[in-house]
């Protein structure tokens, strides 16, 4: 069978699976509002439904799965799901992105269940800035969670930092040193105007070039590493061999090689982070569609895919926040914490 590609020749390889829309933090760049409209509980896919959908995706070329959310560790019995998915042939990698707060309790069980890779979001090492950014007082728990992940044997740990001008940009050198000290690779992410980021404005973005300038000043010469895959991060190396990444989704979008799509906890499939419409896979599943019908629908949607959301946004003359809070309440599927980062 020839590989499934979209209208621009991009394969379907990477699925981000949001297992819950709930979160225990309230990051200012993702969940700044006072209240949220949550997905109705009965709509949330069961583990069996998730496993069936994942099996269909795998037959179409997906070999990399990332569990995300909301905060994935808020989904009860997550190791049970990981075990079910890890037993499936065809998946090269099962990874998870977490805010780390609950990792201390769950890291060992997830590792034992077959989770291979872990990315922890860490925006600051300063307790006051953490409180300001996330509206919670949990920095110590996040750092303890990272320690627990290392103790559980997660090799190749990654840290993700959303960089916001005037908030945590001065901390880039310290964060890089922290990552180096625990043998993790840190990726600095440009603050994106995704759904949920209702406070976004161009002035808050620290462009890739500025990040490199700050890090050159603190850490000396930086060399760019050649790209080896379609991953969003550009990778760099310091003179001492320390590597780090930059995800420049705002100033240097990478839509031309994008092989990712996202499935919400209630089974809506989005082929772009910025897509306003998705495909309702829950309805298909619960209406009794067989595996061939499910696969055919996925293939049809992917073949028609023409998304290049970040490039379209980058070309806007007056770029402002993507969505206002009122429209997010009407359509929570637009939220980053719902569709999964």
Rule CB under 6 A: which residues touch ligand SF4?
23, 25-27, 30-31, 69-71, 99, 121, 253-255, 258, 260, 272-274, 307-310, 337
Task: Choose among ligand SF4, ligand SAM, none what residue 197 binds, the Cβ cut-off being 5 to 8 Å by kind.
Answer: ligand SAM
Beta pairing partners, 188: 161, 246
> Which residues are CB-contacts of 224 (< 8 A; sequence separation ≥ 6)?
234, 235, 236
Complex with ligand SF4: residue 61 or 309, whichever CB lies closer: 309
The end-to-end CA distance of the chain, in Å, is 31
- Are 262 and 194 contacting, i.e. CB atoms less than 8 angstroms apart? no
Task: Choose among ligand SAM, ligand SF4, none what residue 254 binds, the Cβ cut-off being 5 to 8 Å by kind.
Answer: ligand SF4
Complex with ligand SAM: residue 6 or 64, whichever CB lies closer: 64
Residue 136 to residue 155: CA distance in whole angstroms:
28
Closest approach, Cβ 133 to ligand SF4, in A, equals 9
Interaction between residue 23 and ligand SAM (CB under 6 A): yes
Q: Which residue is nearest to ligand SAM (CB)?
A: 341
Interaction between residue 337 and ligand SAM (CB under 6 A): yes
Strand order across the beta sheet in which 234-238 lies: 222-224, 234-238, 243-247, 185-190, 158-163, 117-121, 93-98, 64-68, 14-18, 260-263, 268-270, 279-280
Task: Choose among ligand SAM, ligand SF4, none what residue 211 binds, the Cβ cut-off being 5 to 8 Å by kind.
Answer: none
Complex with ligand SF4: residue 99 or 264, whichever CB lies closer: 99
Residue 152 to residue 274: CA distance in whole angstroms:
35
Residue 121 to residue 31: CA distance in whole angstroms:
15
Among residues 28, 98, 261, 264, which is the contact residue for ligand SAM, using CB under 6 A? Answer: 98
Task: Choose among ligand SAM, ligand SF4, none what residue 258 binds, the Cβ cut-off being 5 to 8 Å by kind.
Answer: ligand SF4
Residue 31 to residue 332: CA distance in whole angstroms:
12
Q: Which residues lie near ligand SAM (CB under 6 A)?
A: 23, 29-30, 68-69, 71, 97-99, 121, 160, 162, 189, 191-192, 194, 197, 336-337, 341
């Amino acid at each position: 069978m020839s590989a499934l590609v979209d209208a621009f020749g991009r394969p379907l390889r990477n699925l981000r699976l949001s297992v819950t829309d709930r979160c225990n933090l309230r990051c200012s760049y993702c969940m700044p509002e006072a209240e949220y409209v949550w997905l109705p509980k009965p709509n949330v896919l069961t583990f069996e439904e998730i496993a069936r959908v994942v099996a269909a995706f795998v037959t179409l070329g997906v070999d990399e799965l990332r569990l995300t959310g909301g905060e994935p560790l808020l989904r009860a019995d997550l190791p049970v799901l990981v075990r079910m998915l890890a037993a499936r042939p065809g998946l090269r990698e099962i990874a998870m992105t977490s805010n780390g707060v609950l990792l201390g309790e769950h890291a060992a069980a997830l590792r034992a269940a077959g989770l291979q890779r872990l990315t922890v979001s860490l925006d600051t090492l300063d307790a006051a800035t953490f409180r300001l950014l996330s509206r919670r007082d949990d920095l110590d728990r996040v750092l303890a969670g990272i320690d627990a992940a290392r103790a559980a044997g997660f090799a190749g740990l990654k840290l993700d930092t959303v960089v916001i001008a005037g908030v945590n940009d001065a901390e880039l050198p310290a964060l890089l040193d922290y990552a180096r000290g625990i043998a993790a690779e840190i990726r600095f992410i440009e603050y994106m105007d995704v759904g949920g980021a209702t406070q976004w404005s161009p002035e808050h973005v620290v462009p890739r070039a500025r990040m490199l300038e700050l890090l050159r000043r603190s850490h000396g010469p930086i060399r760019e590493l050649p790209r080896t895959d379609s991953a969003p991060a550009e990778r760099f190396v310091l003179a001492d061999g320390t590597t780090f990444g930059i995800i420049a989704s705002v100033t240097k979008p990478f839509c031309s090689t994008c092989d990712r799509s996202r499935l919400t906890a209630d089974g809506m499939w989005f082929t772009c982070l910025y897509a306003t419409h998705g495909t309702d896979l829950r309805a298909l599943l619960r209406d009794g569609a067989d595996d061939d019908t499910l696969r055919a629908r996925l293939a049809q949607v992917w073949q028609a895919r023409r998304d290049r959301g970040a490039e379209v946004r980058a070309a806007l003359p007056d770029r402002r926040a993507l969505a206002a809070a009122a429209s997010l309440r009407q359509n929570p599927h637009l939220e980053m914490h719902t569709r999964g980062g």
